[in-house]
Amino acid sequence: MRAIHRDQAGFLWIGTSGGLSRYDTRQNAVYTTFGEWARAVALSDVDVWSVLAAADGRVWAGLREGGVDILDPQGNRVGGLRPDTTRPLSALPPDRVYAMAQVESGEIFIGTNRGLYRTDAGGARVQRITVDPAHPDMAVRSLRVAEGRLWVGTLWEGLWRFDPAKGSAVGHWSRETLTGERVEAILPTGDGALWIGGSAGLNRFDIASGTAKKIMPDAANPLSLSAAWASALAIDNKGRLWVGTLGGGVNVMFGRDSQNRPSLMHIGETQGLPNTSAAMLQVDHGGNIWVSTNDGLAVIDPENFSVQPLHRADGVAIAFNWVNSGAVTKKGEVLFGGSGGMTIIRPEQLRPWTYQPPVVVADLRVGGRKVDWTVGRKLTVPADGNSLMVEFAALDYSAPERNLYAYRLDGYDADWIETPWTQRLASYTNLPPGDYTLSIRGSNREGIWTDAVLMMAIRVLPAWYQTWSFRGGRRLVSRY
């Protein structure tokens, strides 16, 4: 390979000694749109703090300080809303865009670190909205449409109910009602209530009465909320609530105990999550639960709760993801915003990694000397150089640090000996004379052992004093 270049359309051009090839990375199961100022079709900022899948099929990406980018269904930037400090009432501020939501009229509301804004579906006109006259520039952390109203979660001032038609707030709840003032996630239940996650716990908020039931961690109850910071919420196809937390992984509510307390099952690193800080939860069109974390992504099967983490080898180029930054498009693509850009997942194209790599001998030394060996040939270890060192490798280079290894010297070892990928060595000294078989097995990056086990037949020659003729002579002499 001689050169790699990414053009403005997102294609990779790979030049080799054999010619030039074009590779469309956007056809992969996992694709990343990076923030690159130099490319006219790419994201115009390196960080995506929020994502909205608009009704017209376009994707709005809320940026760190560059306003909003508007992307077409192919992932190309076709518009945007840019900050302008000279027009504070008709342009976005140069600050983080935390949340976006589209109401029934088609208007899109934009929550920023310096206030709430509204715009038309095309993004042609921006207007600043005052929710709290006492704090017109309050930081808006989350937005959700429910019961014909826009629900506004803030960084420091609790929850607000906003009437888009009237253009004013019609309700406010803070620490007296909720577990805390920071509202990270809002999720309608479908039966006149809201699930509200914040930095101090989880709430089930009844819209009609304006009251909330608070759900907090309880160290004495292993089925309670696993961490106080409820950062993400989702409801699966069976109606179960999923709660992402910062520091406690993912919780699934599956019922209530004898004291009518919610019972939650915990899913963390032990079960396969790449990190216990869950930034966003999304339910794809197949009902699977997608989790973005502080160290990559994962998908959870809601039937058996098995976790499949996705790493760089799977196409996940962005490790750190932002809270409340994600969406699912009409086409079924799952989007997550993070530090560096946006990850696009096409779940229907995702396939398990079933490649079975061959296991080969990388280095072989007998008596400290390098020896050439071919499969099928018996290796001879002389008596005057009775030491054997075999270095091996499974030829899956997509993520070699995740490959597994084990070896066993039949006739000497009682069981398989596992060894990390950093120490792929089988070493023996002073083996008794005889015939042995060294078996070596390896796995691919998913830990699936290859069916083909590498077998090495070994004969260790005896020293002169270990031969049958010498021993027979000793017995003969001992008779006299």
Of 42-46, 182-186, 433-437, minimum mean pLDDT range: 42-46
**Residue 76: φ, ψ to 5°:** -90, 140
DSSP secondary structure letter of residue 261:
-
Residue type, 401: E
pTM above 0.85, yes or no: no
In this predicted structure, what is the pLDDT of residue 307? 96
- Three-state SS for 57? coil
Has residue 16 got a pLDDT over 60?
no
pLDDT of residue 306: 95
Specify the pLDDT at position 2.
Answer: 42
Q: Are 177 and 210 in contact (CB under 8 A)?
A: yes
CA torsion angle 416 421 423 427 (round to 10): 30
Task: Give dist(CA 165, CA 170) in Å, integer.
Answer: 11
Say what the pLDDT of residue 476 is. Answer: 46
> Measuring CA to CA, which residue among 90, 123, 194 is closest to residue 152?
194
Return the top range by mean pLDDT from 133-137, 201-205, 444-448: 201-205
Which residue segments constitute the domains of the chain, with CATH numbers given? 25-349 (2.130.10.10), 359-466 (2.60.40.10)
Q: Which residue has the tokens 């270095």?
A: 391
Span 76-101, average pLDDT = 96
pLDDT digits (tens, 9 = 90+) for 24-64: 444 568 878 877 654 556 789 889 999 999 999 999 999 99
Q: What local confidence, expressed as pLDDT, does residue 40 receive?
A: 59
Instruction: Please tell me the least confidently modeled range out of 4-18, 310-324, 418-432.
Output: 4-18
22 pLDDT higher than 50 = no
User: How far apart, in whole angstroms, are the C-alpha atoms of residue 141 and residue 139?
Assistant: 6
Closest CA to 102 of 142, 150, 66, 136: 150
Please, which pLDDT band fits residue 399 given cuts at 50, 70 and 90?
confident
What is the reported pLDDT for 36? Answer: 64
Measured CA to CA in angstroms, residue 156 lies from 62, 68, 268 at distances of: 20, 23, 29
Predicted confidence (pLDDT) per residue in 452-468, tens digit: 899 999 999 998 655 55
Kindly provide the residue ranges of all beta strands, DSSP E only, lying in 320-424, ordered along the sequence.
321-328, 334-338, 341-345, 359-366, 369-370, 379-381, 387-394, 405-410, 417-419
Look at residue 211 and tell me whether its pLDDT is greater than 50. yes
Residue 29 burial (C-beta neighbours within 10 Å; 0-12, 13-18, 19+): middle
Given a contact cutoff of 8 angstroms between Cβ atoms, the answer to whether 113 and 66 are in contact is no
Check pLDDT > 60 for residue 1.
no
Assess contact for 352 and 339: CB atoms under 8 A: no
In DSSP notation, 79-90 reads EEE---TT-TTT
Element (H, E) at 284: none
Q: What's the confidence (pLDDT) of residue 18?
A: 45
Cα–Cα nearest to 117, from 72, 162, 71, 51: 162
Question: How many Cβ atoms are within 10 Å of 289's Cβ, its own excluded?
Answer: 24
pLDDT at residue number 467:
57
| Pairing mode, strands 454-460 and 379-381 | parallel
